[in-house]
Amino acid sequence: MKIICIGRNYAKHIEELANEKPENPVVFLKPDSAILAKRMPFFIPPFSDDIHYEVEVLVKINKVGKHIATKFAHKYYDEIGLGIDFTARDVQAQCKAKGLPWEKAKAFDGSAVISEFYPKENYNLEALSFQLLKNDAVVQDGNTNAMLWKIDELISYVSQYFTLKKGDIIFTGTPAGVGKVLENDVLVGAIENKEVFRIKVK
């Protein structure tokens, strides 16, 4: 399986990183080795002093597809989840400055937190609220109604480049409020204020 990540999909997050609003979605990949094993803590890697959390709604692809039209994209997923796209912001800044790829900053071991998946029909995906709490304080409070590109548009867009396969996961971008993690932080992700994952930082 592969993990396809979308960058810059919420206007307020683009502003907080002083990025330009893109013409098209920003896309990058994480390998399956990036997945943080269930019930494992997240270990801050030695190559970074500035690891950021980014909470994101996840979509799990349910069948193979390529060049999927937006109007048919809803047929390609039944379940959604929540995750964290851990980012080595200092390493990413170096990559960006040199115009280099982002993998070292985005695709390292443990950088993909993935919750359980839940049937999409239980939710209103047009206005799904999701939260990240750090040490019991809400640090990110997002809603899919603020996405620049909706889930179906993202599926259509990425499928122009990558054949989607059953089990692939799309990280749909993070809202504002990203920030640094420190040792002993506890990160809790919630969909509609219901806890779906809990991660200890070591």
The residues binding Zn ion (CB under 5 A) are: 54, 85, 174
Q: Comparing C-alpha atoms, which of 157, 154, 191 is closest to residue 56?
A: 191
Q: Using CB atoms, what's the residue nearest to Zn ion?
A: 85
Least distance from Zn ion to the Cβ atom of residue 177, Å: 12
| Closer of 85 and 152 to Zn ion (Cβ) | 85
Least distance from Zn ion to the Cβ atom of residue 63, Å: 25
Count of residues for the chain? 202
Least distance from Zn ion to the Cβ atom of residue 50, Å: 15
| Closer of 54 and 168 to Zn ion (Cβ) | 54
Q: Classify strands 55-61 and 26-30 as parallel, antiparallel or unpaired.
A: unpaired
| Closer of 78 and 157 to Zn ion (Cβ) | 157
Give 147: exposed, middle or buried? Use CB within 10 Å, 0-12, 13-18, 19+: buried
The torsion angles phi and psi of 140, rounded to 5 degrees, stand at -135, 130
**Hey, what amino acid is at 99?**
G
Cβ(67)–Cβ(160) below 8 Å? yes
Least distance from Zn ion to the Cβ atom of residue 75, Å: 25
